[in-house]
Amino acid sequence: MNVSDVFGINSEVRLESYVDRGDLDTAIGKLLVRNTHIALKGESKCGKSWLRQKNLPNAIVVQCRLGRGAIDIYVDALSQLGVSFVVSDTTTGKIEGRVEATGAVGEGLLSKVFGLTGSASASAGASRESIQGKGVVGRDINDLRYVAELIRESRRHLVVEDFHYLSVEERRKLAFDLKALWDYGLYVVIIGVWSQSNLLIYLNPDLTGRIEEVSVYWSTDDLKGVLDTGGAALNLRFNAEFADELANLSYGNAGILQTLTIRALDALEIVTAPRTSVEIADKEAIQTAALHYADQLNALYQQFAKRVARGVRTRKDSTGIYAHAMAVIMDASDELSIRGIPLDYIFRIANEREPRIQKGNLRTILEKLEGLQVDEAGRGLVVAYNEADGEVSIVDRQVLLYRRFSTVSWPWEELIEEAGFDS
Question: pLDDT, tens digit, for every residue of 28-42?
Answer: 999 999 999 999 998
Interval 279-302 mean pLDDT: 95
User: What pTM was computed for the model?
Assistant: 0.80
How long, in residues, is the chain? Answer: 423
- Res. 422: pLDDT tops 90: no
Distance CA 174, CA 308 (A): 28
Per-residue pLDDT reduced to its tens digit, 318-339: 678 899 999 999 999 999 998 8
In a 10 Å sphere around its CB, with 0-12 CB exposed, 13-18 middle and 19+ buried, how is residue 351 labelled? middle
Per-residue pLDDT reduced to its tens digit, 106-133: 778 777 776 654 443 445 554 433 333 3
Distance CA 330, CA 403 (A): 9
- Determine the distance from the C-alpha atom of residue 54 to the mean position of all C-alpha atoms in its chain, rounded to a whole number: 17
- Res. 96: pLDDT tops 80: no
- Res. 156: pLDDT tops 90: yes
Per-residue pLDDT reduced to its tens digit, 212-240: 999 988 889 999 999 999 999 999 999 99
Q: What percent of the chain has pLDDT over 90?
A: 52
The pLDDT of residue 224 is: 95
User: Coil, helix or strand for 136?
Assistant: coil
CA distances, 130 to each of 73, 121, 124, 142, 340 (Å)? 21, 19, 11, 12, 49
Cβ burial 202-227 (10 Å sphere, 16+ → b, else e): bbbeebeebbbbbebbbeeebbbbbb
Short-list 65, 79, 259, CA closest to 162: 65
